[in-house]
Each structure stands twice: as C-alpha cells, then as structure tokens.
Structure 1
C-alpha cells in the first residue's frame, strides 16, 4: 500500500502551512555519470561549515567516509564489482553514487520531533534548526534511510539542508553547483522527474537494462522523495533500503482506531451507568 493511500495526497509545503509556496525543489542524482570525484562532498563541507570527519582508510574501497553522518551530508559511495567480460575474462566494474538526505514527502523525522527543530521549508525540503534541537535523537530511528545522525560533541541532529540559504537567494545548492558531470541535478521536482524518465528510457534504448529510478514513485512507502536517484543495480548494492517505509505511516489509522475504541468505551460506560440506575 502506497503512502498516498495511507495519508492522502500531499504537497509538502502547502500542507505545512506555506501559502503561495513556490514549486517543490529537489535533487535528481544520475549515478550513471558519477565519476567519484567527491567534489560534492567538499563543496557541501565548505559551504555549510561541516566539520572534517577524518581520513579513514576503510579497507574495502577507495571511499574514506563510509556513509552519511552528522559530519558527512553528502557521501560518494565506491562499489567495486567483480564481473566477467563477454570473452569470459574477469574484470572489475565500478558503481559510484553520491548519497544525500531524501527530503521525504512523508517525513517521519518531522512527525516525531518534539521541539519543532525539524521543519518543512517553502520549497518542500526538510531542515534541522540546530539552535532548537535538544538532542533527544527521536528523529534518528524515524528516518527509513538512516540519514540523520548526532554529533558526539554536542548531541544535536544534523543532515543535509539542500543549502536552504542558497535556495532562498535563487542559487543552486553547493553540491550540484560543484558537480562536474551533472550527476547531481537540482531544480523543480516535477521537471526533474520528467527528465529522469527520459534518461532511463535513453539508457534502455542504448541497451543498458539495469537503469532504474529510486525514490521517484509518489506511491512508495514515503510518498516519493525530494531527492531521488537513477541506479544501475539493485538498491541494496548501494546500501539503500529496497522498500523504505516512513516509520509513522500508520499513525492516522492508529488515531482513528483509538478514537473509535474511546467512543465505544464511553458508550459502554453510559450504558452500564443507565443500566445500573434502572
């Protein structure tokens, strides 16, 4: 069952109370043209003053950051695959992907935040206000992608803001601005989805049947993502959940059932009271 059938259709910014909101903005990351340069990681850190997370040789790839964290808001994965050529000789295939917060349509992190530190912007993105965050950590297990993380020194939650400050000035987020191959594309989400469909069709026409979109479907378990991807293998290969579901998806149904149960209990009490008086 898709998120829209659980929650009803949602346009995130107007639903959050923004009147005359601009078009929803987002990222389309085409992994088929990612060269693993990590320019996006560097640009993100420089613009947002994200702390250095060290240089750690993981022993499994050329990647030194390993995944998204409070100190890595963009992460470029290097996936090394052993393959056979058409002549049967062993070879190596590289998959590379710049991962980021998905800015979900139905964001569990927003649902569970008790302080309002997490909020929906007028562009439909999700941002953490570090001066409001109390470090409770509720948002971390609520994220189906494992994106949000806490910094050890202060305990607050941190993640990609899609460069909200740059967006407000009509500028492109730093990661997309720095990407030399246009693997990371920024723009109006509806236009990006159209562009992504055309890109997949072109790859299929060229004989690459592996190409698929991830986070593109508004009927998936999060109602579609504000940052979605073109992949060349199964999501699990990239460390992505194959069927992400927002942790709070059942809350509306639960509240309805609780309300019905409460009314039934109140009715039973009234009937019992009246019956006792009779």
Structure 2
C-alpha cells in the first residue's frame, strides 16, 4: 500500500489550515475527499453499518440492546467501523418537528443516486428508474430528529405526539487533518493516503495500542483475540478505482454524503443556513473548521444539539500537540546533565 506516516507537526501550525496529502509527501495529490453526515435526515436504518461490514469483511459485533436503547453497537469499535447512535430526547419548547426544503448532495452522491453513473459496489436497492434520494428529497418532508409521531412507527404511535424526538447519528473515524494516531505509530502501520484519509495497515500493526490512547475521539480499537488496531478506512480500495464508500452508497436518505471536502464544507454551511431560516436554530456543524484543535476533520457532521449529547468531545485537540516541545525540553535537560557530569569529572580530576 502507498503512502507514509507524517512526522510530528510543528506546534505553531497545528491550528492553521493544512492539506494533509501534500504534507505527507504526495506530489500532484487529488482533491481531499471526505464525509459530510447530515444527522437531521438520518432515520437510523443502519444500512451504513451493514454495508461497511459487508464490504470490508468486518466481524459481527454481537447483539446487545444496551438496556432500554435500540442501539445494538454502542460505540465505534474494532468490529463496528460505523456506529448509528440512537438518542431518545424529551422535546424542548420551540424545537423543530419537521421542515420542507431541499437537501443538496454532492455531485458524486447525486450521480450514483440518480443512476447516471455506474457503481459496481454496494447498492442501496433503488428501483430502476428511481429519481434517486437526492431528487426525492427536493420537495418532500424532512424529519428533523425524528419526532415521535412522524413518520409512522416512531414514538408511541399516538397521533400528534411531539413530546420527544429521536436524535440519530452515524458516527465514523474523523480522518483528522492533524492525526495524533499517525504521530505515535512506531511501525508505520497507520499512513496518510493520497486522498487525505488515514488508514491502518493491519498486516504490519504490532498491537502496541499507542494509537488508541492518542485518538481524541476514541475511534480506534483493538480486536479481541487479535490485538491489532482497526478502524474505518473510508473504503480506500473503492476510492482508488473511483467508487463511493460503501456506507454512503447504501444510505437511503443521503444523510452520509461523500465528495471533495471543500465542496462538502460549502454545502454543509448552506444547509445549516437553510435550517436556521426554517426555524431550527439548534442546527450546527461539528468538525468542519480547519482552525479547530485537530485542524478540521475529514468526516464532519451537522448536529441538532450539543456535541456531548452525541458522545462527541466539545473541543477535541491533537493529543500529541505538546510532544515537540516536550522532546526539545528533554533534549535540553539531557545536554545540561551531560555538561554537568563533564564539569564534575573535569573538576574532580584537577
């Protein structure tokens, strides 16, 4: 596999914009690719989880309904590279129930959804001649946070009930711009691809676990009985032949959108502005800012509540940001100790 891990970043540039593929040594790198996940249209179908497992050969996670939750995976793990969170939340006064607007999608997503482009991978099963999810959403209802009475089958089934809502989010590795997991990997198992994503090469992973503690999002995990690290690759094998990641291909509502990161960020900002105009002030973006603590994420989200509600850290930072300064101080201390030892030896011998 191609690529190499990055060196420890300059702490003075950690919060500035960075194009990670050229920084990793790729010449003439293609545009950075990534995910924009619009949680306001996620229906919790878990098609993304299934598609990810099928395409990547990820083992089953087991069936654990976690008490009173419909969430049977619970978190991102070595055997769950996509995790659909189910959050049952009492509705606050004034919270939106539904809105009618268009939800623009990336050209790559729209082309496959409208069947104007062939993709031989995982198929969401749209019938022949379907206008695709992008067109279906251009004039129909959109359910923000899945209110109790909409659509049928949600909540208690009591007509008109809106005292709670479901918040759903398909979580995934963030493919950070400044990825601490790359900094600490001693074998080069983790590397930056030409698309700006971060991939684990399991065949050279030694199971040290350094990347697990380094990840500010708690994404990476070791598989029991294996010991090696595993996580989302953003379907690197599919990207290399011009195909869409399996999860985005399978998503029936286009909640998961794939494309060039710059274009996704522009569309996401427009989407938030539209929701604000429709009376959804709680809509916000997470992980999109190139000037945040990780330099922006390659997979970012539109949320309908605070990040903590979804189990996301409110202010993630590169966990290795202080390593260069620490090594510098350690080096200076070692030199000072060596100088003191030499001086003591010279003074004692005279």
Q: TM-score, normalised on structure 2?
A: 0.73
Would the alpha carbon gap of residues 258 and 9 (structure 1) be closer, same or farther in structure 2, given more than 3 Å must change? farther
Structure 2 residue aligned with 1:25, among 20, 33, 37?
33
Contact 1:125 1:161 in 2 (8 A): yes
Asked whether 1:227 is paired with 2:299, we answer: yes
User: Equivalents in 1 of 2:300, 2:195: separation in Å?
Assistant: 16
Contact 2:15 2:291 in 1 (8 A): no
Asked whether 1:95 is paired with 2:103, we answer: no
Structure 2 residue aligned with 1:44, among 48, 52, 61?
52
User: Equivalents in 1 of 2:336, 2:176: separation in Å?
Assistant: 36
User: Equivalents in 2 of 1:84, 1:7: separation in Å?
Assistant: 35
1:4-15 matches, within 5 Å, as 5-6=13-14, 9-15=17-23
Partner of 2:26, secondary structure, is coil
Equivalent in the alignment of 1:138: 210
Contact 1:120 1:127 in 2 (8 A): yes
Count of residue pairs the alignment pairs up: 274
Q: How far off its partner does 1:62 sit?
A: 1.0
Partner of 1:187, secondary structure, is strand
Partner of 2:204, secondary structure, is coil
Would the alpha carbon gap of residues 7 and 115 (structure 1) be closer, same or farther in structure 2, given more than 3 Å must change? farther
Structure 1 residue aligned with 2:74, among 53, 66, 74?
66
1:1-278 matches, within 5 Å, as 5-6=13-14, 9-83=17-91, 91-261=163-333
Q: How far off its partner does 1:14 sit?
A: 1.1
| Structure 2: 5+ residue stretches without partners | 1-10, 95-160
User: Equivalents in 2 of 1:84, 1:190: separation in Å?
Assistant: 34
- Measured on the aligned residues, the alpha-carbon RMSD in Å equals 2.2
Contact 2:184 2:211 in 1 (8 A): yes
Q: How far off its partner does 1:4 sit?
A: 6.2
Contact 1:214 1:229 in 2 (8 A): yes
Contact 1:139 1:148 in 2 (8 A): yes
Q: How far off its partner does 1:271 sit?
A: 7.8
User: Equivalents in 2 of 1:252, 1:263: separation in Å?
Assistant: 16
